[in-house]
């Protein structure tokens, strides 16, 4: 056999392999610049790495201001909360992430239960954030809230007719109630809070009552419920204040009209308070820059950042010192549900089961 014939294919394969490896290496090098996590020795004191499920411009602005003030660079990976939790779990001790940020108490509780967080120790934070908006072990710190309220048609509903979430199950609202699908985490946490406060049986009765009063099968997101009120499909809807803010400030005049045709009502003020969704920040268990991370939490819960977030994202501040922007002021003050956010995660499973049982689509 010809020797060259024997060698050539191997040579070709080697070349191809080198080529492939080259591709990989090339990308590796080129991304090094944007990837400070790889040079921990030198840059250790000047950065903090964040995994966040909140993807708002307002958050980025706050990071930018933080960097300007402290010189600490903020590196960000944005993703879905559950996926980031999974990534943190798999990375384990090797993780480069210092902070985990997400929306919803249930998910925060889940992160805590997965043992990827550790307590934050800071007097500043303890002063910035009231104890009921923090995890009891400070495994996560609240950074903002959104109220899940009853929204009503200003034309057809007198707010005096409204009182509680429970009252929406009355015969009176038959064919008039709107809500989004039960696959929404917001609804799951709402029902989970009822399971905690009123017990399983009452919670199931409530879900069944709402389903019986549906103006239509759940369709679309929170905004779509407001639009359905404007269209006259239903009179009242369960939705987040955050989306009301987005509608009122929309660039589309038609959406603005929708936003202005609806009113915000905080239910259960005489009883156990209005349900809120909380966004929170947790320090990862294997954080490599815990001091910088703590500084960032302190900054984000400080008055300046809180007022900024509230004004640009239509969320309620957790820091009681922060002033409310105009639109939030127009909705008025309200009493919040008093419950341990851990319980939302605990009852999430049951909540889904009830939704399936009551055929809340």
Partner 1 sequence: MGIHQVKRFFQKDFNSWWIISMVGAAVILLPILFVFLSLFQEPNQNWFQIRQYLLKTYVANTIILVLLTGIFTAFLGVTLAWLTAAYDFPLKRFFRWGLLLPLAIPPYIAAYTYRTMFSYTGVIQSTFRNHFDYQINPELLSISSLRGAIFIFTLFLFPYVYIMTRAFLVSQSSSFFENARLLGRKPLAIFVRVVLPLSRPAIVAGAVLVVYEVLSDYGVTSYFGIHTISTAIFQTWFGMYDIDSAMRLAAWLMVIIVGLFFLERLLRQGRRYNVNNKSRPLMPMKLKGVKAVAAFMYCGIVFLLGFLIPLIQLIAWAKLTFHKVWNESFFTLFFQTVYVAAISTVLILILAVVVANVSRNHSMGSFVLAKLTTTGYSIPGAIIAIGVLAVFITLDKWLAPFYSYMGWGDAPLILSLSLVMLIVGYAIRFMATGFNAVEVGFEKIGTKYSEASRVLGLGMTKTFFKVDLPLIKGALISGFILTFVEICKELPLALLLRPFNFDTLATKTFQYAKDEMIYEASISSLMIIGISVLAVVVFQVIDKKVER
d(CA 182, CA 329): 30
**Considering only residues 66, 72, 96, 336, which one is a binding residue for partner 1 as defined by CB under 8 A?**
96
The smaller minimum CB distance to partner 1, of residues 7 and 332, is found at 7
Q: Is the torsion defined by CA of 195, 201, 206, 211 positive or negative?
A: positive
Minimum distance, C-beta of residue 273 to partner 1, in the bound complex (Å): 25
**Considering only residues 170, 260, 356, 359, which one is a binding residue for partner 1 as defined by CB under 8 A?**
356
Residue 187 makes CB contacts below 8 A (sequence gap 6+) with 179, 180, 181, 238, 355, 360
**Considering only residues 119, 199, 220, 332, which one is a binding residue for partner 1 as defined by CB under 8 A?**
220
d(CA 51, CA 90): 14
**Considering only residues 18, 28, 172, 330, which one is a binding residue for partner 1 as defined by CB under 8 A?**
28
The smaller minimum CB distance to partner 1, of residues 125 and 190, is found at 190
**Considering only residues 110, 153, 279, 358, which one is a binding residue for partner 1 as defined by CB under 8 A?**
110
Task: Give whole-number Cα distances, 188 to 73, 148, 262, 297, 303, in Å.
Answer: 36, 12, 24, 27, 31
As to burial, measured by CB atoms within 10 angstroms (0-12 exposed, 13-18 middle, 19+ buried), residue 60 is middle
**Considering only residues 3, 68, 90, 338, which one is a binding residue for partner 1 as defined by CB under 8 A?**
90
- Give which of 248, 223, 263 is closest to 314, Cα–Cα: 248
Total site size for partner 1, rule CB under 8 A: 82
The smaller minimum CB distance to partner 1, of residues 97 and 305, is found at 97
Q: Which stretch binds partner 1 (CB under 8 A): 293-301, 302-310, 325-333, 349-357?
A: 349-357
Length of the chain: 361
Minimum distance, C-beta of residue 166 to partner 1, in the bound complex (Å): 24
**Longest Cα–Cα distance in the chain:** 97
**Considering only residues 200, 219, 304, 307, which one is a binding residue for partner 1 as defined by CB under 8 A?**
219
The smaller minimum CB distance to partner 1, of residues 20 and 137, is found at 20
d(CA 261, CA 43): 52
**Considering only residues 285, 286, 312, 361, which one is a binding residue for partner 1 as defined by CB under 8 A?**
361
Task: Give whole-number Cα distances, 301 to 126, 233, 249, 324, in Å.
Answer: 10, 40, 25, 14
| 264: helix, strand or coil | strand
Beta bridge partners of 275: 148
Supply the DSSP string of 183-210, one letter for each residue: TSHHHHHHHHHHHHHH-HHHHHHHHHHH
Minimum distance, C-beta of residue 271 to partner 1, in the bound complex (Å): 28
Q: Which stretch binds partner 1 (CB under 8 A): 93-101, 195-203, 303-311, 326-334?
A: 93-101
Residues 47-86 that bind partner 1 (CB under 8 A): 49, 55-56, 75-80, 82-84, 86
Beta bridge partners of 281: 101, 141
Binding mask 308-337 for partner 1 (x = CB under 8 A): ------------------------------
Residue 267 makes CB contacts below 8 A (sequence gap 6+) with 149, 150, 162, 163, 164, 165, 167, 274
d(CA 232, CA 230): 5
Q: Does 45 bind partner 1 (CB under 8 A)?
A: no
Residues 159-218 that bind partner 1 (CB under 8 A): 181, 183, 185, 188, 216, 218
Q: Which stretch binds partner 1 (CB under 8 A): 20-28, 200-208, 262-270, 276-284?
A: 20-28
As to burial, measured by CB atoms within 10 angstroms (0-12 exposed, 13-18 middle, 19+ buried), residue 294 is buried
Residues 230-289 that bind partner 1 (CB under 8 A): 230-233, 243, 246, 250-252, 254-255, 257-258, 288
The smaller minimum CB distance to partner 1, of residues 114 and 170, is found at 114
Binding mask 113-152 for partner 1 (x = CB under 8 A): ----------------------------------------
């Amino acid at each position: 056999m010809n020797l060259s014939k024997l060698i050539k294919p191997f040579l070709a394969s080697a070349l191809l392999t080198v080529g492939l490896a080259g591709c990989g290496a090339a990308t590796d090098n080129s991304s090094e610049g944007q990837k400070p996590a790889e040079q921990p020795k030198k840059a250790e004191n000047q950065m903090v790495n964040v995994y966040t499920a909140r993807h708002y411009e307002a958050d980025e602005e706050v990071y930018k201001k933080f960097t300007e003030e402290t010189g600490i660079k903020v590196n960000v990976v944005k993703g879905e909360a559950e996926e980031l939790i999974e990534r943190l779990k798999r990375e384990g001790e090797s993780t480069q992430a210092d902070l985990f940020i997400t929306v919803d108490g249930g998910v925060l509780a889940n992160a805590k239960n997965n043992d990827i967080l550790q307590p934050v120790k800071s007097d500043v934070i303890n002063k910035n954030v009231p104890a009921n908006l923090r995890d009891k072990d400070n495994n996560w710190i609240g950074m903002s809230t959104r109220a899940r309220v009853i929204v009503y048609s200003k034309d057809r509903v007198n707010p005096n007719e409204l009182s509680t979430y429970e009252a929406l199950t009355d015969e009176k609202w038959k064919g008039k109630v709107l809500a989004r699908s039960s696959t929404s985490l917001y609804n799951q946490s709402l029902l989970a809070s009822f399971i905690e406060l009123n017990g399983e049986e009452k919670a199931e009765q409530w879900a069944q009552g709402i389903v019986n009063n549906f103006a239509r099968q759940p369709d679309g997101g929170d905004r779509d419920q407001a639009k359905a009120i404007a269209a006259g499909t239903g009179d009242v809807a369960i939705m987040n204040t955050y989306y009301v803010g987005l509608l009122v400030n929309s660039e589309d005049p038609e959406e603005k009209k929708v936003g202005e045709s609806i009113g915000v009502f905080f239910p259960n003020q005489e009883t156990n308070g209005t349900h809120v969704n909380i966004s929170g920040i947790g320090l990862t268990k294997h954080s490599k820059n815990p001091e910088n991370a703590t500084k960032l939490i302190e900054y984000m819960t400080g008055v300046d950042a809180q007022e900024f977030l509230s004004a640009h994202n239509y969320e309620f501040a957790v820091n009681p010192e922060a002033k409310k922007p105009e639109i939030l002021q127009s909705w008025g003050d309200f009493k919040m549900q008093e419950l341990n956010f851990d319980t939302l995660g605990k009852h999430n499973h049951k909540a889904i089961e009830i939704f399936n049982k009551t055929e809340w689509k």
